[in-house]
C-alpha cells in the first residue's frame, strides 16, 4: 500500500480490510474520458465490485460518495433492499436518509413495544494513520 501511494501515476489509493486474510488495494487515476461508467446506484454495489472486477470506471461524484448508496452497508440484502436499490430515487440513497430511516425504525419499535438488545447502529469509518504504525494498528484490531 505504501508503494502504491508513492506511485505518481495513482491519483488515489484505498485499502479495504475484510479480515486478516482478505484485503483489497484499489488505485485509480482521474481521466477526462472513460469507456463506460458503472452504475453503483442500481446495478452494482461498490464494495462487491472489488471482488468482481480488476478495472472499472466511476464518475467523480460516484467515487466520492461510493458508500452512500449502500447506507454504509447497514441495510441487509435481499427482499426490500433489492427493490429499494433498483427503484428508489437518488435523493433517498444517502447517509442522511439512512439516519431518518433508523430514527423511524426506533420510533416504530418503541410504539410496538419491541425491545432490542442495543440502540447502537454499526459505524464504518475511514481511518488514516502513519505508515510506521499501520502494522501495529492492524495487529490489535479485533
- The tens digit of pLDDT for each residue in 89-129 reads 877 777 778 778 878 888 999 999 988 766 565 555 556 66
Question: With 80 as the cut, is the pLDDT of residue 141 above it?
Answer: no
**Degrees, nearest 5: CA angle 19-131-54:** 50
The whole model's pTM is what?
0.61
Name the pLDDT band for 88 (thresholds 50, 70, 90). confident
What is the CB neighbour count within 10 angstroms for residue 68? 19
Structure confidence by residue, pLDDT tens digits, 23-80: 889 999 999 999 999 988 778 888 888 888 989 999 988 888 787 666 544 566 677 7
Q: How far is residue 115's CA from residue 109's CA, in Å, rounded to a whole number?
A: 7
- Tell me if 11 sits within 8 A of 30, measured CB to CB: yes
Amino acid at each position: 500500500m505504501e508503494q502504491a501511494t508513492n506511485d505518481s501515476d495513482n491519483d488515489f489509493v484505498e485499502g479495504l480490510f475484510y479480515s486478516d486474510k482478505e484485503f483489497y488495494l484499489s488505485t485509480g487515476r482521474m481521466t477526462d474520458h472513460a469507456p463506460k461508467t458503472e452504475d453503483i446506484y442500481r446495478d452494482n454495489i461498490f464494495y462487491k465490485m472489488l471482488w468482481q472486477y480488476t478495472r472499472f470506471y466511476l464518475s467523480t461524484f460516484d467515487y466520492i460518495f461510493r458508500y452512500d448508496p449502500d447506507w454504509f452497508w447497514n441495510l441487509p440484502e435481499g427482499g426490500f433492499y433489492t427493490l429499494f436499490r433498483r427503484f428508489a430515487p437518488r435523493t433517498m440513497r444517502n447517509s442522511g436518509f439512512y439516519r431518518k430511516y433508523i430514527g423511524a425504525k426506533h420510533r416504530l419499535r418503541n410504539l410496538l413495544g419491541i425491545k432490542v438488545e442495543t440502540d447502537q447502529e454499526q459505524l464504518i469509518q475511514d481511518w488514516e494513520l502513519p505508515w510506521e504504525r499501520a502494522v501495529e494498528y492492524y495487529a490489535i484490531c479485533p
